A and B are shown apart, each in its own frame.
Chain A
Amino acid sequence: MATTFPTTVARPRRRWHELKHSVNWLYLLPALLFFIGYQLYPLLQVLYISFTDYRYLRPDPPNFVGLENFSNALADPIFWTGLWRAAIFTAIFLPGVIFIPLFVAILVDRVQNATLSTLYRLILLIPAVIPGPMIFVLWRWLYDFEVGPINVILINYLHLFDYRNAPQWVGDSPLTLPAVAIMEWWWGLGYHTMFFLAGLAAIPKELFESARVDGANEWQMFWHVTLPRLRPIFLILVVLRFGSAMAVIDEFLIMGGFNRSMPTYTWTVYMWHLGFQLGDWPQGYAAAIGWIGAISMLVVVAALFYIFRNQD
Chain B
Amino acid sequence: MKRKDEEFLIQELLRSQLRRGEISRRQFLQNMIVAGMGLGGVSVLSSCGGTAPATPAAPAATEEAAAPAAATEEAVAAASGTRPLTPTFYQWIVDLHPGLKAVNESFADLNFQIAPVAGFDVARFVAEGKNKESTWDVYVGMTPFVEMAALIKADVIEPWDNYIPKDVLDDIIPSIREECTVNGKLYSWPFLLDIIVQGYNTSITSKAGLPDTPPADWDEYLANSKAVLDSGAARYGCTFDAHGWRSLCPITHSINTDIYYMLDGDASGVPLYDFTHDDAIAALEIMKQMLDLSSANALQPGTTDGGVNQTPDEVAFAAQQVAYYIKYQNAPLRMAGTWTDPTALRLGALPKAKGGAGSTVFWTTGACLFKWGQNKEKAAEYMKALTYDAQIWKDSIAGSSSGHPGQLPPFLSVNEALQKENADWFQKETWVPLVFEQLKVAKAIPNHAFGLQQFIIGQPIWEKYLKGEVSDPKVAMQEAKDAVAAEVKKAG
Chain A interfacial positions (CB closer than 8 Å to B): 57-59, 140, 144-147, 163-166, 168, 171-173, 257-259, 261-262, 276-277, 279-281
Whole-angstrom distance between the alpha carbons of A276 and B312 in the complex?
Answer: 28
Supply 6 further A-B pairs (C-beta < 8 A) apart from A146-B321, A168-B297, A257-B306: A57-B126, A59-B131, A164-B296, A171-B301, A259-B301, A280-B123
A168-B300 in contact given A57-B123, A59-B130 (Cβ < 8 Å):
yes
Whole-angstrom distance between the alpha carbons of A281 and B124 in the complex?
Answer: 10
A257-B301 in contact given A144-B315, A163-B235 (Cβ < 8 Å):
yes
Whole-angstrom distance between the alpha carbons of A173 and B299 in the complex?
Answer: 11
Asked whether, in the complex, the Cβ of A147 is within 8 Å of the Cβ of B319, the reply is yes
Whole-angstrom distance between the alpha carbons of A171 and B131 in the complex?
Answer: 41
Whole-angstrom distance between the alpha carbons of A163 and B300 in the complex?
Answer: 15
Asked whether, in the complex, the Cβ of A165 is within 8 Å of the Cβ of B123, the reply is no
Is B118 interfacial (CB 8 A cutoff)?
yes
Q: Which residues of A contact B126 (CB under 8 A)?
A: 57
Task: Write the nearest CB–CB distance from A115 to chain B, whole angstroms.
Answer: 42
Asked whether, in the complex, the Cβ of B307 is within 8 Å of the Cβ of A261, the reply is no
Whole-angstrom distance between the alpha carbons of A231 and B119 in the complex?
Answer: 47
Q: Can you list the 9 inter-chain pairs with the closest CB atoms, starting with the nearest?
A: A171-B300, A57-B127, A257-B306, A146-B315, A57-B123, A280-B123, A145-B297, A163-B235, A146-B319
Q: Which residues of B contact A166 (CB under 8 A)?
A: 296
| Chain A residue at minimal CB-CB distance from B314 | A146
Q: Which residues of A contact B301 (CB under 8 A)?
A: 171-172, 257, 259, 262
Interface string of B309-335 (1 = CB under 8 A from A): 000100110010100000000000000
Asked whether, in the complex, the Cβ of B316 is within 8 Å of the Cβ of A146, the reply is yes
Is B419 interfacial (CB 8 A cutoff)?
no
Is B407 interfacial (CB 8 A cutoff)?
no
| Chain B residue at minimal CB-CB distance from A163 | B235
Listed by A's residue number, 25 A-B pairs whose Cβ atoms lie within 8 Å are A57-B126, A58-B127, A59-B127, A140-B303, A144-B315, A146-B312, A146-B315, A163-B321, A165-B296, A166-B296, A168-B296, A168-B297, A171-B297, A171-B301, A172-B299, A172-B301, A173-B300, A257-B301, A257-B307, A259-B307, A261-B460, A277-B118, A279-B123, A280-B127, A281-B123
| Chain A residue at minimal CB-CB distance from B130 | A59
Q: Which residues of A contact B123 (CB under 8 A)?
A: 57, 279-281
Is B205 interfacial (CB 8 A cutoff)?
no
Whole-angstrom distance between the alpha carbons of A273 and B321 in the complex?
Answer: 36
Is B257 interfacial (CB 8 A cutoff)?
no
Task: Write the nearest CB–CB distance from B487 to chain A, whole angstroms.
Answer: 13
Q: Which of B268-296 contact A (CB under 8 A)?
A: 295-296
Q: Which residues of A contact B306 (CB under 8 A)?
A: 257-259
Asked whether, in the complex, the Cβ of A163 is within 8 Å of the Cβ of B315, the reply is no
Q: Which residues of A contact B307 (CB under 8 A)?
A: 257, 259
Q: Which residues of B contact A281 (CB under 8 A)?
A: 119, 123
Whole-angstrom distance between the alpha carbons of A144 and B321 in the complex?
Answer: 14
Asked whether, in the complex, the Cβ of B119 is within 8 Å of the Cβ of A276, the reply is yes
Whole-angstrom distance between the alpha carbons of A279 and B295 in the complex?
Answer: 35
Whole-angstrom distance between the alpha carbons of A276 and B121 in the complex?
Answer: 12
Q: Say which residue of A58, A145, A261, A277 sits within 8 Å of B119 (CB atoms).
A: A277
Asked whether, in the complex, the Cβ of B118 is within 8 Å of the Cβ of A276, the reply is yes
Whole-angstrom distance between the alpha carbons of A172 and B296 in the complex?
Answer: 12
Q: Which residues of A contact B118 (CB under 8 A)?
A: 276-277
Whole-angstrom distance between the alpha carbons of A262 and B303 in the complex?
Answer: 13
Asked whether, in the complex, the Cβ of B124 is within 8 Å of the Cβ of A145, the reply is no
Whole-angstrom distance between the alpha carbons of A280 and B129 in the complex?
Answer: 14
Whole-angstrom distance between the alpha carbons of A172 and B297 in the complex?
Answer: 9
Task: Write the nearest CB–CB distance from B30 to chain A, whole angstroms.
Answer: 37
Task: Write the nearest CB–CB distance from A173 to chain B, whole angstroms.
Answer: 8
| Chain A residue at minimal CB-CB distance from B235 | A163
Whole-angstrom distance between the alpha carbons of A145 and B303 in the complex?
Answer: 11
Task: Write the nearest CB–CB distance from A104 to chain B, whole angstroms.
Answer: 31
Q: Which residues of A contact B300 (CB under 8 A)?
A: 145, 168, 171-173
Whole-angstrom distance between the alpha carbons of A259 and B463 in the complex?
Answer: 15
| Chain B residue at minimal CB-CB distance from A172 | B300
Q: Which residues of B contact A279 (CB under 8 A)?
A: 123
Whole-angstrom distance between the alpha carbons of A237 and B123 in the complex?
Answer: 43
Whole-angstrom distance between the alpha carbons of A171 and B127 in the complex?
Answer: 34
Task: Write the nearest CB–CB distance from B455 to chain A, whole angstroms.
Answer: 14
Asked whether, in the complex, the Cβ of A145 is within 8 Å of the Cβ of B312, the reply is yes
Whole-angstrom distance between the alpha carbons of A223 and B26 in the complex?
Answer: 96
| Chain B residue at minimal CB-CB distance from A57 | B127
User: Quick one: which of B235, B297, B312 has the most chain A CB within 10 A?
Assistant: B297
Q: Which residues of A contact B127 (CB under 8 A)?
A: 57-59, 280
Q: Which residues of B contact A257 (CB under 8 A)?
A: 301, 306-307
Task: Write the nearest CB–CB distance from B224 to chain A, whole angstroms.
Answer: 20
Task: Write the nearest CB–CB distance from A248 to chain B, whole angstroms.
Answer: 19
Whole-angstrom distance between the alpha carbons of A166 and B236 in the complex?
Answer: 14
Q: Which residues of A contact B315 (CB under 8 A)?
A: 144-147
| Chain A residue at minimal CB-CB distance from B308 | A257
Q: Which residues of A contact B299 (CB under 8 A)?
A: 172
Task: Write the nearest CB–CB distance from B117 to chain A, whole angstroms.
Answer: 10
Whole-angstrom distance between the alpha carbons of A259 and B459 in the complex?
Answer: 12
